[in-house]
Structure 1
Amino acid sequence: MPLKLEGSCRCGWVRFSADSHAPVPFMRCYCSICRKTAGGGGYAINLHADKRTLAIEGETAVFHAELDDGEGGCTVSTGERHFCAKCASALWVFSPEYPDLFHPFASAIDSQLPKAPSRVHMMLASKASWVEPVFGSDDQCFEEYPEYALEDWHRARGLWID
């Protein structure tokens, strides 16, 4: 049975819940979008949840980040970053390319989460100069994206919850 995630914003105006098969907060993203919108420690931790089970009380605002196209221009991300419309707490990211799932920020989850046996540090090439990541002996590090998805990491470690 999946783990029920319960989350909220800082002011309590938005509350949400959803089921997660992959609730271990193991992946730290150091990209400029995550760290500037949700990462107080210079990174953000996204979880994996079933979009079909998402229940929301309150109203969210949505932000679409602009992405550098590498040629002096930018494109607008299809990813929807949801925030509380009153206190601006970062809540989750949804990408229409993957309509059955969304990624709550671990920082918005109020229910107990399992502890990660190791961590993945991703987008290290984008980390802020003041950030000094702490790497555990079993941690994996990636300059950009890891070679696998959240689901793959959980399944490989026997942490996927059916």
Structure 2
Amino acid sequence: MPYQLCYCSICRKQQGGGGYAINLAAVTSSLRVEGGSTLGLYRARIEDDEHASCELSSGERRFCTRCGSGLWLFDPSWPDLIHPFASAIDTELPVAPSRVHLMLKYKASWVVPDIGPDDATFDLYPEKSIEDWHKDARQWVA
């Protein structure tokens, strides 16, 4: 369910036409890829504001080298999960009963978040995992 809006500069610049990106969650083994030779790989450099350092993200963002569309994010730190970008899904997706706005600390100055009355907001990461949110919303599919 597309409920989590990420305003970090990496997601925003790669997928965020509205100033944020929406990542879905899926089990990695469910991914089926055709045309693998047209996939590109982007690994962002993450700047640490507090320690004035920069490191290469472990997150692997895949995109189509023909059209440039961002497709999914995979992080080997969580090998069982894959995060397709909602913007790459052509089939219908359910409307979330509420949303989570995260990484608002990094929101672009021109972005005005549309925060609903039941939405949760976080400067950095949310308190609940993707799995916990879906279970609480009775949307978990195992």
Per the normalisation by structure 2, the TM-score is: 0.95
Q: Distance in 1 between matches of 2:30 and 2:138?
A: 23
Between structures 1 and 2, the one with greater strand share: 1
* 32, 35, 43: which one aligns with 1:64: 43
Runs (5+) with no aligned partner, structure 1? 1-23
Runs (5+) with no aligned partner, structure 2? none
1:99 matches 2:79: yes
1:109 matches 2:86: no
Secondary structure, counterpart of 1:55 in structure 2: coil
Q: Distance in 2 between matches of 1:123 and 1:106?
A: 18
* 92, 99, 118: which one aligns with 1:119: 99
What's the offset of the Cα at 1:73? 2.4
Q: Which amino acid aligns with 2:21?
A: A
* 130, 134, 139: which one aligns with 1:150: 130
Aligned to 1:74: 54
Q: Distance in 1 between matches of 2:5 and 2:136?
A: 18
**Structure 1 segments of 4 or more deviating over 2 A?**
69-73
* 19, 27, 30: which one aligns with 2:4: 27
Aligned to 2:18: 41
Q: Distance in 2 between matches of 1:124 and 1:76?
A: 22
What's the offset of the Cα at 1:33? 0.2
Q: Which amino acid aligns with 1:144?
A: L
Query: Alpha carbon RMSD of aligned pairs, Å?
Result: 0.9
Aligned to 2:116: 136
Task: Tell me the alpha carbon deviations over residues 54-108 of structure 1, each in whole angstroms, 9 at most, x when there is no partner.
Answer: 1111221001100113333200001000010111111100000111111000000
Q: Distance in 1 between matches of 2:124 and 2:79?
A: 24
Secondary structure, counterpart of 1:121 in structure 2: strand
Identity percentage of aligned residues: 55
Secondary structure, counterpart of 2:73 in structure 1: strand
Per the normalisation by structure 1, the TM-score is: 0.83
